Every structure is written in C-alpha cells, then in structure tokens.
Structure 1
Amino acid sequence: MTINLEAALDTLLTLFFLSLYTGCVCLLFTKQRHYVFYITVFFVTVNDLVFVPLSDTLSPTLLVVSKAWKEIFISGLLLLNLMRSNQHNRLSLSSDTARIVCVILVLSALGFAVGLTRSGLGEAIQQWRRYFVPILLAVLLTSSGLARRASARTLMRLLLSMACVMSVYAIYENLTFSGDFTKLWYYDFVAQAKESINTDTHLLQYQFMRGDELRATGFFISAIEYSLFNALALTYAVISIYTSRSFSGRLHFSLISILLAGGEIVANVRIGWIVFAVALLCATQVHFFGTRSFRKLAIAPVVILLLSFALIIVSKADLDASSVGRLAQYASVPSAFRPEGYGLGAITNNGETYKDSWYISVLMVFGIASIGYAWLMFSPLIDALAHLRVRHRAELKSDRTAYAFAVGTIGFFCAQLYVFGFHYSTGLSHLYLLQIFMFQVAYGLRNASPKRAPTLNHGAPGLAPLER
C-alpha cells in the first residue's frame, strides 16, 4: 500500500484549518466569546497572505474547505443567536437581526431566481458570498453579544498594529522591486483570476504597476484593496492625534500616521488619499458641527464625486484610460438596465454585473431591488447617527479611544459614497472591516446609557455616550 505524501499533507493542513475554526466557534460559547471579534478582524486582514500561496498547493476542493472560516463563523454565530433569542432580548433574531436576515433572504432568492437562468449554481454562490457574507458576518458578530464586551481600544490597537506591519512590508516591497512583476508572490493567482473574466493584457499589467513603479499591496493581492485598508487605519490614527490628551500619545499616533502615509505613497493609488481626506471632512462635520443627518454628511462625498466626473469630462484627453472608461460604463446604464436585474452569477470583465462602479454593479445585479441592498449597506450608519451625541475634546476623558473609533468609522463609512462611484468594492477587506466596525458602533451608541460611565475602551458593556 502506497501513501501519497503530498495528498496526506494537504489533508492534514486542511484539518488544521478546520480544527482552528472549530476552536474559534467553541470559544463563542464561553465567557471569552468577544475574542472571536478580534480573531475575525485578524483573519480578514491576513486572508490573502495565508490562502493565495496555498492556491497552488491545495486541490480546489481542499482550498475551498480551508478558506471556509467565514461560513463556519457565521454558522456558529447564527446558532449562538438562536440560543439567545427570546422576547426580552432586543437584538435577538426576532427584531433588528431578523429584519436584516429577512432582507438578505429575499434579495438572495431574487438574485438566484434571475441569475440561474444565465449561469451555473457555483458561480451564483460565489457572487452571493461577495455581496452578503460581509453583512451577515457583521450583524451576527454584533447581535450575538460580542459587541457588549469588545473593546474599542483593543480593536484600534489590533488594526493599527497590523497596518503598521503591512506598511513596513509594502515599503520593503517597493524598495526591493526588480521591475519584473511576474515575480511577485501573488502574480499567478491574480493572472489566473483576471484571465478567467477575460481581462486584456494591458489591464492585467496595470494590476501590478503604474508606469514603471510598483503598486505595493502589503498583505493583499490588490493595491486598491491595500490602499483603502491603509486609509482606514490612517483615518483612525490622525483622529487619535487630536483626541489624545498627552504629548506622548500625540507623538505615538503622529509616528504611526507618518508610517501609514509611507505605505499609502508606495501603493501608487489615488483613491486612498481621496477617501482619507473625505473621511476626515465627514468626521470634522460630526465633531465640530454636530452633524447627525446622513443626508447632510452625504453632501461632501457626493459633491466631490460629481466634481471628479466633471474633471474627467473636461480633461479626458490628459487622463488614463481607466478614468475615462468609467464614463462609458455610466453612459451604458440606461440601455443595459433591467427592472429585475441580471441576478447573481457569472462575472466577466466589464460585464453587466461587474463594473468599476459599486453603484452600477449593484443596480445591475438586483435591479429595482437594489434599494433593499442599499438599505442593508447603510442602515447601521443611519442607526449610529440617530443615537450620536458629540463630546468636545476637553470632555473626552477616558472614552477618547471609543470616540476616535466611533467618529472615524462614521467618517470613513460616509466616504464610501465616493469610493463606490469609482470602484467595485464588494468583498474587499476594508469593507468587511468597516461593516463590522459600523455595526459595532451602532450597537454601542444605541445601547449606551447617559448615566453609565464610558467604559467601552476598558472592555465593559456598551459604548460611551458621546455628548456635547
């Protein structure tokens, strides 16, 4: 009897991942369940770094099983929610979570019903994961009670620590780049993925380089994904400079901001800088003007988006093809739109349901029902703003980390109104994290008692009330 050693090692590696995920799910049913919140943030950040190299090692089936941590976490969280569900629990499946799950089920049914007429089940499931798994994961993490004890201070430290490590690596990538992008650790994976959706050679090269310079990606496989993740961390760091009371604290966050800015530079992506600036602008509105209206906060990113389109129209002769090409995508919407949408299914480069714009892609997938998906996306932001009260810097005291976390999350989420106009952000890591953080902030603000001490950053239940 002969043993295939390579196959045995692949199986053992898959069993290791499954054991790790099972252990995390078991942790949900202990008093330390809030650690799963931090573990999820860590897994989202290192997902590409771990599994992209394994795509050439594991068989397709074992790779899918090994990467199934999101689905396993969702199953465990759903079970925990059902066990906690009762009429006295405001966030049980009978109320807020139930509404979100019901909308997801309805949109999923519509997406599959329409999409399966033009593509296979496997392709439809793949696109379903991109659209709905981030929201399901975020809402179940929050409604399962993890948000009660999750610490804003720990979340900030974890995110900033990983962002700093990633910036150092991105700068190292840039300094040691030989000019041959086919030698990059993620080249084969990206090339195969882009070829599968009929991406031409010029656009493929643009995934790795801008002119003669590398577009550094950190631990991700996309410079845009890294740039947006880094911009999120940079937003928290800069706001923390303002909210810190001590000189050492301000110096600490200033140095972090400088390092993250270096990572943003080597990413060679415009969108990161723009979304960072828009996020700070929205956060400034919240802090200095006490803005709590989503419509008012949406004005700045939408106006900047429209001005960007105007600039493209006026200066299209001087801009790159990727910028000008976005205009053609918007121009094609009236003729390509279907009320029922195209459904969940096959993705091809610049196909009906895969455009550079998130707005166009969602509209084409769900048709008129895209209104429901927009509600899923922005409901936690609107909920957070409805319960937000702003505290001046002198009054921050011990809840300054929670304040920076809440205002930074709100500002960066508002900035996505700009990002969605230019990028298909669905399934990107920064959006996973942002949705998790936004549900966390909304939960904390909704359940904060004005009489209770601000203790989220110390790990106790609730988010500090942010009062004027």
Structure 2
Amino acid sequence: MLIGLSFYGIILSVINGMPLKETILSWRMYLLPILLPCLVYLNDGFKNVNTAFFYKFLKTTLFILVLFALYQNLLFKFLNGGQLTFLSKNFRSEAGTILKKALWFYEYFGADYILPRWFNMIRNGNIRATSFFVSPIIFAQFLGVIGSILMGKFLYSKRKINVLIMLAITFFGIYLAQVRAGFIFFIITFFIIYFNRKTKIKNYVIIGLPLLLVGITFIGLILFKVGDASTLGRLVQYSELFKGFKFIGYGLGSPRSIISYDSLIISVFFAFGIFAFLYFKLHLNILKSVNRFHQVVIDEYSFLAIGLMGAFSAFVYISFFHFSIGSAPIRFFYFIVFYYLYKNYESREH
C-alpha cells in the first residue's frame, strides 16, 4: 500500500505538470515518516535498544526541549519583549508579505541568539516558545507524544511519583508553547486509559473518540462561533475542499497538497482524491497491529502501547485542524510504533 500510494501520488503529480522538486519533497513528508522506521525495523535497527535505554532517552529529550523553551521564554521576558534580535534588518516589515497566508495571526518573530535560523512567535504580546523546532505547534505536539507515553508509563510504573514529575515537566513545556493542540494529547490519552481499564480497548473507540470531539468542535465553530480568527478560518478551508475536490486528486506535488491548508485531512484529499482513504487505512492498519499485541501481551513495553494508542487518537483529532504531515511529532511517533512492534515480535520469537 505504501509503495502503491507513492507511485500514484508521484505519477499523478507528473501528469498534472507539477514541479519534480516539490513532488519529491511532498512524498518525503507524506510517506517517509512511515517508510524510514519501517526500514529500521526490517533491518533489526531496534535490536539493542532496551526499554531502560528508551525511557532514559525519552526523559533526556524532554528535559533538553523544555529547558531550551524556558530559556526562550525568560529571554523574552528579561528583554521585555521589545529588544529581540530579528532574523534580518527588514524581517518584521517583510514578514507580513512573506508569511501572510501561513502565519498571518502572529505579530512578529524574534531570534533567540543560540539558533539564529529558528524563530519564536509572538502573539497577543506573549511568546509561543518553539524550543529547537520551527513552530510552537510542532513543539507542543512533540511534547504531546511524550506526554501520552508517560501517561502509559504511569499506568504500569511502580515509581509513579517520578513519572508524575515528568508529566508535570511535559505539561509545563506545552504551556510555554501556548498551543492548545498539545493538551489534546493529555485529554484523549486519559480517556483511552479509562476505557482500557474498564475493558479491552477497541479500535473503533480509538478512532471514534476523536471523531466525536471533532464533531463537537465543528458544532461549536459553526453554531456558537467558538474560537479565534485562526480557528474559525478552518471552516473556510473546508468549504474550499468541497469546491475544489477532484476525484482522482491533484498529486503529491500540487500546492493544494503541501501546507496550503491547516488541515492534514484537506491536504490528503487534495493529494490522493478518493484514494485518500487508502492513506488513512495505512495508518489504521499500523494502529491495529499495536492494539493486537497489547490485547495478548502484557510486558515491560505495554506502557508504550497505551501511550501510542492515545497519541494516535489525538493525532486523528489534530489532523482536522493542523497540517502535521511529515512533522517531527509524526516521525517521532512512528519510530516509537515500530520500536514497540519490533520488541513484541522479538519476544514472541524467543
């Protein structure tokens, strides 16, 4: 399915006369996050990575990311928000033109002196920390994946206080990012854990829960105008999907498929047309594998299964409102997925 979607998206893009460079970059965003960890899996790349090392890596990554975000936040406050070094002399005046479509709702961008190519985003007079990422949304979602894994760890851990401290640090990091999407991971994973304790978690629950929340969100947006301008702008983008939808799609290289819209769902339908369902099915099949192992095997890796199912469910919700294709959180998520699958296959063989 992965190979078939790759060929279809690329060939369709070529037929429609899309630039080859954009087509390749788009393919990398859509399918490489799954293909790369799959290759690591097939070549026994996870063989010597035990759960103790993985958990230490997770904690170290969390500390570094949040510490740098805290530095950015303190720097902004220490300089009173007005003395930040900008990326170029005229960047502030140019930003309105350059980034008008994608980031129009941010006021300005300031460097943090350590990573001059990265920038922080200021909105309503408050910094939205990016840490080592290029966007506070990516930072918050990355922490969201870590938070979901830690919630799974809390469920099975005997040292719950230590895990709670890690969860608090994760929560604090998302607060520094000032992005609602990060907290979605906590909320949805909590419900996944609740259902898991009551009964064996079903795949339809993992998918149905975020879809229910999506329905509630759209009702709030349409009937009660809940949300700010950037949130309400999603409704306009969905109307464009219905107007511009093409049965066979536009291909991977089309501007409609690459960050022109805030929604992963919209972008995928523009890329593959009706065959977008195969792209979603590809992700769903991987989720089913994780859940299938979790139903029959309870071991030292079980906390990963709970966290992954919670994070997957959160990504379903977020995909309706954010373009997360090929992002660091998605890549990170699938590396953990294939690590979990490898360790379970390994244990069954022995």
Compute the TM-score of the two structures, normalised by the length of structure 2: 0.85
1:330 aligns with 2:218: no
- CA shift, 1:196, in A, is 6.2
Greater RCO, CA 8 A, separation 6+: 2
Find 2:286's aligned residue among 369, 376, 380. 380
The aligned residue for residue 244 of structure 1 is: 157
| Structure 2: distance between partners of 1:372 and 1:187 | 47
1:138-169 deviation digits (Å, cap 9, x = unpaired): 21111212234432332222122111221122
1:158 equivalenced with 2:57 (yes/no): yes
1 CA distance for matches of 2:271 and 2:279?
Answer: 10
Q: Distance in 1 between matches of 2:318 and 2:197?
A: 22
The equivalent of 1:211 in structure 2 is: 124
Q: 1:159-174 residue pairs with structure 2 within 5 A?
A: 159-174=58-73
Tell me the distance in 2 between the aligned counterparts of 1:225 and 1:186: 24
Work out whether 1:130 is the aligned partner of 2:29. Answer: yes
Q: Which amino acid aligns with 2:157?
A: S
Q: Choose from 213, 221, 227 the match for 1:304.
A: 213
Letter in 1 for 2:318: V
Summarize deviations over 1:436-464 as a string: whole Å, max 9, x none.
Answer: 21122234445543xxxxxxxxxxx87xx
1:269 to 166, 179, 185: 179
Aligned pairs for 1:367-406 within 5 A: 367-389=273-295, 399-400=299-300, 402-406=301-305
Task: Give the aligned partner of residue 234 of structure 1.
Answer: 147
Deviation at 1:183, TM superposition (A): 2.9
Alignment of 1:87-98 (within 5 A): none
User: Does residue 109 of the first structure (1) align with residue 22 of the second (2)?
Assistant: no
Instruction: Tell me how far 1:356 sits from its aligned partner.
Output: 1.1
Please tell me the residue identity of whatever aligns with 1:241: F
Q: Which runs of 5+ in 2 are unaligned?
A: 109-119
Partner SS state of residue 265, structure 2: helix
What is the Cα deviation at residue 343 of structure 1?
A: 0.7
Query: What is the distance in 1 between the residues matched to 2:83 and 2:269?
Result: 35
Q: Check whether the contact 1:218–1:226 (CA below 8 A) recurs between aligned residues.
A: yes
2:269 to 363, 378, 386: 363
Q: Deviations over 1:264-298 (max 9, x none)?
A: 1111001110122112212332344211x311221
Is the contact between residue 215 and residue 268 of structure 1 (CA under 8 Å) also seen in structure 2?
Answer: yes
Runs of 5+ consecutive residues of structure 1 not aligned to the other structure = 1-102, 450-460, 463-468
Whole-angstrom CA distance in 2 between matches of 1:215 and 1:187: 22
Per-residue CA deviations over 1:191-247 (Å, capped at 9, x if unaligned) read 9999667637733537712311000111111100000111121222233233222xx
Write out aligned runs for 1:135-146 (5 A).
135-146=34-45
What CA distance in whole angstroms lies between the structure 1 residues aligned with 2:93 and 2:347?
Answer: 48
Report the counterpart of residue 15 of structure 1 in structure 2.
Answer: none
Secondary structure at 1:209 match in 2: strand
**What's the % identity of the aligned pairs?**
25
SS in 2 for 1:423: coil
For 2:89 and 2:174, the matched residues in 1 are separated by 21
Encode CA deviations 1:359-410: one digit per residue, 9 max, x unaligned: 111011011221222122222111122232267xxxx7xx44x221221112
Call closer, same or farther: CA 1:213–1:159 in 2, change over 3 Å.
Answer: same
Corresponding residue pairs, total: 334
CA contact under 8 A between 1:135 and 1:376: conserved in structure 2? no
| Map of 1:282 onto structure 2 | 192
Question: Structure 1 residues 364 and 213 mapped into 2: Cα distance closer, same or farther (>3 Å)?
Answer: same
Residues 215 and 266 of structure 1 are in contact (CA less than 8 Å); yes or no, is this contact kept in structure 2? yes
Letter matched to residue 211 of structure 1: N
Q: Between Structure 1 and Structure 2, whose CA radius of gyration is higher?
A: 1
Report the TM-score when normalising by structure 1: 0.65
Distance 1:185 1:218, change over 3 A: farther
- Which letter does structure 2 place at the counterpart of 1:341? G
Aligned alpha-carbon RMSD (Å) = 3.0
**Bigger mean CA deviation after superposition, 196-205 or 325-334:** 196-205
3-state SS, counterpart of residue 303 of structure 2: helix
In the TM superposition, residue 341 of structure 1 has moved relative to its aligned partner by 0.6
Q: Which amino acid aligns with 1:244?
A: S
- For 2:336 and 2:93, the matched residues in 1 are separated by 32
Contact 1:230-1:260 within 8 A present in 2 as well = yes
Give the structure 2 partner of residue 343 of structure 1.
Answer: 251
